[in-house]
Amino acid sequence: MKRTNLTLGLFGFGCVGQGLYDILNQTKGIKAEVKKICVKDRSKKRPIPLKYFTFDKDVILNDPAIDVIVELIDDASEAFNIVSAAMKNGKKVVTANKKMVAEHFDELLKLKEENQVSILYEASTCASIPIIRNLEEYYDNDLVKSIAGIFNGSSNYILTNVFENNLSFDLALKKAQELGFAETDPTLDISGLDSKYKLSIINAHAFGKNVPEENIFHLGIQSLSLADINYAKEKRYKIKLVAKSIKIDGELYSWVIPQFIDLNDFLYSIENEFNGVIIEGAFSEKQCFVGKGAGGHPTGSAVLSDISALTYDYKYEYKKYSQNNVPTSADNFLIEVYIRYKNENDINQLSFLSIHEQYQSDDFNYIIGNIDIKSLSIKEIKENKNIFIAQTTNQAVHSINVSNNISGVHKFKEAV
Amino acid sequence: MKRTNLTLGLFGFGCVGQGLYDILNQTKGIKAEVKKICVKDRSKKRPIPLKYFTFDKDVILNDPAIDVIVELIDDASEAFNIVSAAMKNGKKVVTANKKMVAEHFDELLKLKEENQVSILYEASTCASIPIIRNLEEYYDNDLVKSIAGIFNGSSNYILTNVFENNLSFDLALKKAQELGFAETDPTLDISGLDSKYKLSIINAHAFGKNVPEENIFHLGIQSLSLADINYAKEKRYKIKLVAKSIKIDGELYSWVIPQFIDLNDFLYSIENEFNGVIIEGAFSEKQCFVGKGAGGHPTGSAVLSDISALTYDYKYEYKKYSQNNVPTSADNFLIEVYIRYKNENDINQLSFLSIHEQYQSDDFNYIIGNIDIKSLSIKEIKENKNIFIAQTTNQAVHSINVSNNISGVHKFKEAV
């Protein structure tokens, strides 16, 4: 098979950019050379000679010798400007920017079609795990029932250290930042937003359905307390930040939420900056992909796999978009949650459809019950530091007698 | 992307054939229809009408309306006859026959080239896990350092039941057969041969190197005793049948052997009929793929993914064959092993290069030490029911001061 040599223009030279540069230099088999690197900060010391750098994006965007731009900057809207300009100039694109891809998904697809250029973004979701490529190439729509996983390395690193090493949340976050796992703004990681961007991208390749990220419910781990950790440990659970999409009767349910995980779940033993993705197939049953979800080298290696695929002229085909079994997006459904709170008035805006457990003490209180996921979306609940919410295990949900109950989802209309 | 409707001819209607037939009937999105099924046994009762069956392979092989043959029979040499005749007739092939693919690898490649027809065999290795496709499409040769895994669902099912449920080996084997996990001849599973066929296929797609299976050392679990299980449990190990290939300095080391596995290894928690494959990348570090490795539906779902890929005209490109970094095959190397034996004369043919532990008792004896893997290949050792051999954990090997020691391999020349 014919392989093309590629000339690259790189945007961004942070943790991933440098990781990629290292890898490219040590990987002789892949015929791709970085010609120029565009960075923002003129004063920062760089580990390689200054002649490789430019501060003007047009130097790369207008260079006809550059075939591929590799976009690895933080700022999602500037990233979109760069990527769309590059595609209009006929350049192929590799990007690791989940926010940019999730927020501009349809526009990027249109740019791809109009300009007939490939855009690949494996590194944007779960870093080193080849999940996009597998969903795109291997798992037919009919064969995917659900996707669930730990999609954020930084928050998983924090959870592991808080759970296993008794670190404080703040210290664990600080360590994650020092190790280069966290985004520049760590709110993205711990709030569940980062996982949601990834879930949105995964939905497109798993089910042929782009659920806009603003329509996906998300909750984070920012208000996790020692009381919650102790509760989980007592029950022999861990708490993981889980993103999931489940297809039931042609409808797609997607959300991101902290969840109690028991010993028998594949996600139980996924620790530190590792990510894990469970694909439930109609006939293959559960499959799990595990790998590092953060860090310069793991992310850089995914970028490199995309660059290598471009040397063979690979492009995503988005086959599932044109199949006739694309699900519709559901947003009204029940889940069973644990809600820990301080004062009754913290939660008086919430109405449970059924309550299964209730605990009160001088230190903290919790309720376990079924609730419409939409009612958790209000700002006063999401931003209240006194409240921590986690989905109970799937098993706990299964014990309630509601019809159409698969993997912890209840259809709202049937449960009322 | 254009999708072609396919007409299939099926060979074999055992566990996997029936699984595939079920799946095809329930999967409306994939446009492939079974026209005829060729079976051997005329007297066997069939769950679908007799008009679908034929007993003459030429009915399928000479039918111009059939685009694809799906080969799911036991007999590897008859399978090769069928597959090569089909390819010569311009038919595409999907097969699950690891023995046939491993033993005829170069011939199949030649048939593919000469007749310009695709042959896919994802189901042949680790059933539902898309390992071939990932190695073929995603992991560049430069990026793969090693592959290791549990490749045989039947023997893993036995090991789990012997270890966790205190079943006898024979009863566990019987259960594996009843559940349809074991081959018709279970020796293939428990001797490590089946894992070796799979490793041989994986080598071709991971490293672009077809090491003929007869050049790969293998040992099985057939002489596992309670003494070995107790020894492992005392040290908090499990025993797994592990197949592995490691690339060091342009040389490829491949072997199959029972191994002590500690808690921190991805393979530790892979139980029952599940398989697991660990890919160690140069920069992505360790990644693990887990899924069911046996059973009609998991294997059938892999066959279906191949059929689906053929509707998009997919073929393996064997890209790594034409890259200039293909490793050479090494067969002279040291590993650290635990050898349990009954009488001194059981092992007097073996010469250890170094001995690290020795234990003697009325019931059993063992030695732990470094040995040339070739010296374990003699028939008297392999077939002696009084001897059980397992590789010690990688960690145990790492504690010995030998240079160029990576993941439990010592280069012979340097260790002497």
Residue A196 phi/psi, 5° resolution? -65, -40
Asked if the C-beta of A254 comes within 8 angstroms of chain B's C-beta atoms, the answer is: no
Q: How far apart are CA B208 and CA A54, in angstroms?
A: 39
Which SS3 state, helix, strand or coil, does residue A255 take?
A: strand
CB contact under 8 A, A1 and B319: yes
Cα of B326 to nearest chain A Cα, Å:
11
Q: How far apart are CA B243 and CA B258, in angstroms?
A: 9
Partners of residue A150 in chain B, C-beta under 8 Å: none
Partners of residue B289 in chain A, C-beta under 8 Å: 287-290
Q: How far is CA B411 from CA B135, B328, B370, in A?
A: 26, 14, 12
Fold adopted by A6-128+298-322: Rossmann fold (3.40.50)
Asked if the C-beta of B321 comes within 8 angstroms of chain A's C-beta atoms, the answer is: no
Cα of A164 to nearest chain B Cα, Å:
14
Position A1 scores a pLDDT of 64
Tell me the HSE value of B315 on the side-chain side, using a 13 A CA sphere. 16
CB contact under 8 A, A284 and B301: yes
Which SS3 state, helix, strand or coil, does residue A138 take?
A: coil
Using CA coordinates, name the residue in chain A closest to B318: A1
Q: How far apart are CA B274 and CA B157, in angstroms?
A: 8
Is residue B198 among the annotated active site residues? yes
Asked if the C-beta of B30 comes within 8 angstroms of chain A's C-beta atoms, the answer is: yes
Residue A164 phi/psi, 5° resolution? -90, -35
- Name which of B15, B133, B284, B311 to mutate to probe chain A: the one with the most chain A Cβ atoms within 10 A of its Cβ: B284
Fold adopted by B6-128+298-316: Rossmann fold (3.40.50)
Asked if the C-beta of A323 comes within 8 angstroms of chain B's C-beta atoms, the answer is: yes
Count CB neighbours of A230 within 10 A: 11
Q: How far is CA A330 from CA A23, A133, A250, A334, in A?
A: 42, 26, 10, 11
CB contact under 8 A, B322 and A1: yes
Label residue A383 left, alpha or beta by phi (over 0 means left) and psi (-120 to 50 means alpha): alpha
Position A409 scores a pLDDT of 54
Partners of residue B319 in chain A, C-beta under 8 Å: 1, 3, 312
Nearest to B288 by CA among A218, A320, A278, A91: A278
CB contact under 8 A, A282 and B29: no
Q: Which residues contact B111 (CB under 8 A, 6 or more apart)?
A: B83, B84, B87, B88, B117, B119
Cα of B162 to nearest chain A Cα, Å:
19
Among 1.20.1050.10, 3.30.70.3190, 3.30.360.10, 3.40.640.10, name the CATH number for the domain at A137-291: 3.30.360.10
Asked if the C-beta of B28 comes within 8 angstroms of chain A's C-beta atoms, the answer is: yes
CA triple B193-B375-B382, angle to 5 deg: 40
Cα of B309 to nearest chain A Cα, Å:
8
Position B382 scores a pLDDT of 87
CB contact under 8 A, B138 and A139: no
Using CA coordinates, name the residue in chain B closest to A2: B319
Cα of B25 to nearest chain A Cα, Å:
12
Position B259 scores a pLDDT of 97
Cα of B317 to nearest chain A Cα, Å:
7
Residue B280 corresponds to which tokens in the numbers above? Answer: 């160690």
CA triple A357-A362-A368, angle to 5 deg: 15
Report the residue from B26, B143, B285 with minimal CB separation from A292.
B285
Partners of residue A262 in chain B, C-beta under 8 Å: none
Residue B215 corresponds to which tokens in the numbers above? Answer: 């050049």
Using CA coordinates, name the residue in chain B closest to A132: B138
Q: How far apart are CA B241 and CA B259, in angstroms?
A: 6
Report the residue from A133, A281, A302 with minimal CB separation from B137.
A133
Position A396 scores a pLDDT of 33
Tell me the HSE value of B283 on the side-chain side, using a 13 A CA sphere. 30
CB contact under 8 A, A284 and B302: yes
Look up the pTM and report it.
Answer: 0.90
- Average of per-residue pLDDT across B3-30: 88
Q: What is the largest CA-CA distance in chain A?
A: 71
Asked if the C-beta of A263 comes within 8 angstroms of chain B's C-beta atoms, the answer is: no
Q: Is A358 exposed, middle or buried (0-12, 13-18, 19+ CB in 10 A)?
A: exposed
User: Which long-range contacts (C-beta less than 8 Å, at least 24 apart) are formed by B110-116?
Assistant: B111/B83, B111/B84, B111/B87, B112/B87, B112/B315, B115/B87, B115/B88, B115/B90
Partners of residue A298 in chain B, C-beta under 8 Å: 283-285
Report the residue from B285, B288, B298 with minimal CB separation from A298.
B285
Question: Is residue B404's pLDDT more than 60?
Answer: no
Same fold, A6-128+298-322 and A332-415: no
Q: What are the residue boundaries of the structural domains of chain B, listed by start? A: 6-128+298-316, 332-415
- Chain A contacts in chain B segment 179-218 (CB below 8 A): none
CB contact under 8 A, B305 and A140: yes
Q: Residues B247-258: pLDDT tens digits?
A: 988 899 999 999
Low-confidence stretches of chain A (pLDDT < 70) are 1, 141, 394-416
Q: Are A40 and A14 in contact (CB under 8 A)?
A: no
User: Sign of the CA dihedral A167, A172, A174, A179?
Assistant: positive
Asked if the C-beta of A321 comes within 8 angstroms of chain B's C-beta atoms, the answer is: no
Using CA coordinates, name the residue in chain A closest to B141: A29
- Average of per-residue pLDDT across B130-149: 88
Catalytic residue among A198, A240, A292, A320: A198
Q: Are B304 and B34 in contact (CB under 8 A)?
A: no
Report the residue from B134, B304, B305 with minimal CB separation from A130.
B134
Domain A332-415 is in which class?
Answer: alpha beta
CB contact under 8 A, A30 and B325: no
Asked if the C-beta of B288 comes within 8 angstroms of chain A's C-beta atoms, the answer is: yes
Q: Are B70 and B9 in contact (CB under 8 A)?
A: yes
pLDDT-derived band at B403, boundaries 50, 70, 90: very low
DSSP A323: S
- Chain A contacts in chain B segment 133-152 (CB below 8 A): 133-134, 137-143
Strand partners, A257: A242
Q: What is the largest CA-CA distance in chain B?
A: 71
Report the residue from B22, B269, B317 with minimal CB separation from A1.
B317
- Average of per-residue pLDDT across B171-184: 88
Asked if the C-beta of B275 comes within 8 angstroms of chain A's C-beta atoms, the answer is: no
Exposed e or buried b per residue across A319-331, where buried means at least 16 C-beta atoms within 10 angstroms of its C-beta: bbeeeeeebebbb
Mean pLDDT across chain B, nearest whole number? 89
Encode chain B in three state secondary structure: CCCCCEEEEEECCCHHHHHHHHHHHHCCCCCEEEEEEECCCCCCCCCCCHHHEECCHHHHHCCCCCCEEEECCCCHHHHHHHHHHHHHCCCEEEECCHHHHHHCHHHHHHHHHHHCCCEECHHHCCCCCCHHHHHHHCCCHHHEEEEEEECCHHHHHHHHHHHHCCCCHHHHHHHHHHCCCCCCCCHHHHCCHHHHHHHHHHHHHHHCCCCCHHHCEECCCCCCCHHHHHHHHHCCCEEEEEEEEEEECCEEEEEEEEEEECCCCHHHHCCCCEEEEEEEECCCEEEEEEEECCCHHHHHHHHHHHHHHHHCCCCCCCHHHHCCCCCEEECCEEEEEEEEECCHHHCCCCCCCEEEEEEECCCCEEEEEEEEHHHHHCHHHHCCCCCEEEECCHHHHHCCCCCCCECCEEEHHHHC
Position A185 scores a pLDDT of 82
Encode A339-394 in three state secondary structure: EEECCHHHCCCCCCCEEEEEEECCCCEEEEEEEEHHHHCCHHHHCCCCCEEEECCH
- Name which of B273, B283, B285, B287 to mutate to probe chain A: the one with the most chain A Cβ atoms within 10 A of its Cβ: B283
- Name which of A133, A284, A315 to mutate to probe chain B: the one with the most chain B Cβ atoms within 10 A of its Cβ: A284
Catalytic residue among B98, B99, B198, B247: B198
Q: How far apart are CA A126 and CA A7, in angstroms?
A: 26
